[in-house]
Amino acid sequence: MSGWWVHNLWSQNPALLVSWAVWVIGAIVLHELAHGWAAIRFGDRTPIETGHMTWNPLVHMGQMSLIIFALVGIAWGMMPVNPSRMRGRHAESLVALAGPAMNLSLAAIAMVLGLVWMGVAGGHWIPSVQADEPLYSNMVLFFRTGVFLNVLLMAFNLMPIPPLDGSRIVAHYSPGYRRFFESENGRWVGLGLLMLLFFFGFDLIIRQVSSWAFVVWDALAGVVGVA
């Protein structure tokens, strides 16, 4: 059991396990709902008709995704949409972009709330007000986890590899790209590229995201005086 992600995170800090579970599930649900809201905005009622405009994680993630999440700590979601029902020249690409945009928004919100928490509860702005440990550190960890995870989800989903959102954006503007990846050979190529990205590129994405996200966090922390 020593290699199970739940055991590993719990042994580091139970607050890290809780933070990861809350942010993974919450970020995926909101990511998919953002796709749905955008699709409805452009005239496609498929998300409503299929019952996906709900906060229920089971609807968005499905049993298999939740099982994989329990086993390895990662998951995915799905929002059914129908581009043929959308109005507007850029509707399909904007609907695809809505999910990563939601993750970027969640990362920004988590960063702002985290810095405000550090300023207030850490006694930086009001010396007479200071939260006790481990509450203070656990909340900082919660917000930092939210920043990291949502930037990671945004970056990963913007990769132009089917079925990620980035591929839908590219396919909207490149008919040749769409035709290839909708062909039988293209689907196999897409699956192969996704596996290569996951097994060989995911660690690089994680390192880059961690670097970028926390450089911004630390810089802003210095600006607002909570470093």
Q: What is the pLDDT of residue 200?
A: 84
Looking at the chain, the whole-number percentage of residues with pLDDT higher than 90 is 81
Which whole number is the average pLDDT over 174-200?
Answer: 90
Q: What is the pLDDT of residue 2?
A: 55
The 10s digit of each residue's pLDDT in 5-19 is 999 999 999 999 999
Q: Is 3 exposed, middle or buried (0-12, 13-18, 19+ CB in 10 A)?
A: exposed
Q: At what angle do helices 14-41 and 135-157 cross, to 10 degrees?
A: 40
Place of tokens 């990861």: 20
Question: With 80 as the cut, is the pLDDT of residue 40 above it?
Answer: yes
| pLDDT grade for 1, boundaries at 50, 70 and 90 | very low
Q: What is the pLDDT of residue 198?
A: 82
Which whole number is the average pLDDT over 140-146?
Answer: 97
- What is the C-alpha separation between 183 and 55, in angstroms, rounded? 34
Phi/psi for 87 (5° steps) reads: -105, 135
Looking at the chain, the whole-number percentage of residues with pLDDT higher than 70 is 99
